[in-house]
Amino acid sequence: MIKLFMVNQARMTCELLAAVLRQEPDIQVVGYATNKDEALTTIGKRSCNTVLVDIGLAGGGALHLAESLRQIEPTMKVLVMGLVESKSAIIYCVEEGVDGYILEGESLATLVQKVRAVHEDQFMVSPAVAAALMTRLADLKRMTKELYGISSMHWADDPFTELSPREWEVLLLIERNYSNQEIADELVITTGTAKNHVHNILSKLDVSSRQQAAVLMRQILNEQQYEELARRAPSPDGHTATQLPDHIVQQYENGAKSVAGNGASA
């Protein structure tokens, strides 16, 4: 029997999913929580073997929760849901120890199928992701041989390496739900220039909306990795590293605005 616990910031989503999943004869929904701390407190009181976590939990909470659950119960299965369809994001989640994932556009039927697969120690991936995982494994083996102790800050097909320093600034403001006008005011540039930066970012990250760019950024980055990524952003001369402006770093560290409902493209 699959004993499922759900973690999602939207209580209504938990209740709707629970209503659907309880119709499955082999799935028992034992409870849900709306944040990491509540989940850790509640899961310990429930008998569950599978946890379904929304990737959008604040502060990188989904992957932090997965790590905490592994420490508490190594056999616990953890799936993340709501992922943007990005090989880099999926590979990173796998590296962080999740057992499965559900993309934001996938159906309830697929969700049920993947929950069952994970319970049976199977991992469902597309051929493209499977190929990327094999490439990543080869990269890790080579890097381990060449330079033991190398930083984990390297992903196959990392989309962020193409961003300029200014685009880094704009992306951080997009993640905080700034409009083009607000970005222009913050960075003292014209609205047209801000709009051009946004379009360039969406193109380089291969996403179709500001919301997807923000979600992808939160999936890839956590608080500890942010400073390392900021340092590796190239300077305008393309040679030396540059640190993002302190006020923008502080805004990120203070937490992002919700981007719910802001799915419109630039």
Q: pLDDT tens digits, residue range 148-204?
A: 433 444 444 556 677 887 888 888 888 888 999 999 998 889 999 999 999 999 988
User: Given a cut of 50, is residue 261 above it in pLDDT?
Assistant: no
The winner for highest mean pLDDT among 75-79, 89-93, 137-141, 173-177 is 75-79
Backbone angles phi, psi at 78, to 5 degrees: -125, 125
Q: How far is CA 211 from the centre of its chain?
A: 12
> Which stretches does DSSP call E strand in 11-62?
27-33, 50-54
The two structure tokens encoding residue 200: 């360039």
**What is the distance, to the nearest Å, from the Cα of residue 204 to the centroid of all Cα atoms in its chain?**
17
Percentage of the chain with pLDDT > 90?
32
Fold of 159-253: Arc Repressor Mutant, subunit A (1.10.10)
User: Does residue 248 carry a pLDDT above 70?
Assistant: no
Tell me the two tokens of residue 178: 């700034």
Mind listing the pLDDT tens digit for each residue in 22-66?
Answer: 999 999 999 999 998 899 989 878 889 999 999 988 766 888 888
CB atoms < 10 A from the CB of 63, how many? 21
Residue 79 token pair: 């799936």
**Domains 2-123 and 159-253 fall in the same CATH topology:** no
Digit-coded pLDDT (tens) for 61-87: 888 888 888 888 888 999 999 988 888
How high is the pLDDT of residue 216? 77
End-to-end, the C-alpha distance of the chain in Å comes to 46
User: Domain ranges in the chain?
Assistant: 2-123, 159-253
pLDDT, residue 150, reads: 36
Q: What pLDDT is stored for residue 237 in this prediction?
A: 40
Backbone angles phi, psi at 35, to 5 degrees: -155, 170
In this predicted model, which residue has the larger pLDDT, 263 or 183? Answer: 183
In terms of C-beta distances under 8 Å and separation of at least 24 residues, what long-range contacts does 124-130 make, across chains too? 124/100, 125/90, 128/87, 129/87, 129/90, 129/91
Residue whose token pair is 């640190």: 243
Note the pLDDT tens digit of each residue in 215-232: 777 766 654 455 555 444
Amino acid at 10: A
How far, in Å, CA of 108 to CA of 111, rounded?
Answer: 5
The CATH number of the domain covering residues in 2-123? 3.40.50.2300
| Nearest partner of 132 among 64, 168, 85, 171, judged by Cα | 85
